Amino acid sequence: MPFKTVLRDLVNSVPGARGAIIADWEGEAVDQVGPMDEYDLRLVGAHKGIILGNLRVMLDRIGNDDLREVIISTRDTQTLVLPITPDYFLVLAGCRNQLLGRARFAARRCVQILRQEID
């Protein structure tokens, strides 16, 4: 299954989702989908990759390398960042009023599918 199809299913299943992107460990976009501006979505992906990388380093220092997800909430937005493999991660960007539980469930399901596709 192509990545775009998986990402489109994710965005369509979460009310308030503005975009989803798969990026590599350097923050480079692999694929993306959503109504959000393409450049802005790539920028969100790259910046969230930096945050994910910093958290991984910190957790590695304390002997815990099992980072499963990061949720970043601001006044207007809510962003989920989930590692797919050590080399790739998923970002789901949404409106602040998106249903967090549904977004987390759908993003986790998406990560499982993407892991199968990547492996």
Record the pTM.
Answer: 0.93
- Number of domains composing the chain: 1
Q: Specify the pLDDT at position 119.
A: 82
For 101, counting Cβ atoms within 10 Å of its Cβ (0-12 exposed, 13-18 middle, 19+ buried), the class is exposed
Nearest-CA neighbor of 71 among 100, 45, 105, 29?
100
List, for residues 40-73, the tens digit of each pLDDT value.
999 999 999 999 989 988 998 998 878 899 999 9
List, for residues 99-118, the tens digit of each pLDDT value.
899 999 999 999 999 999 98
List, for residues 30-40, the tens digit of each pLDDT value.
999 999 999 99
Domain containing residue 109: CATH number: 3.30.450.30
Question: Rg of the chain over CA atoms, in angstroms?
Answer: 13
Tell me the H-state helices in the chain: 3-13, 38-61, 100-118
- Binned at pLDDT 50, 70 and 90, residue 1 comes out as low
Q: Which domain holds residue 79?
A: 3-118
CB 90 within 8 A of CB 2: no
Six-digit token pair at 40?
A: 């802005």
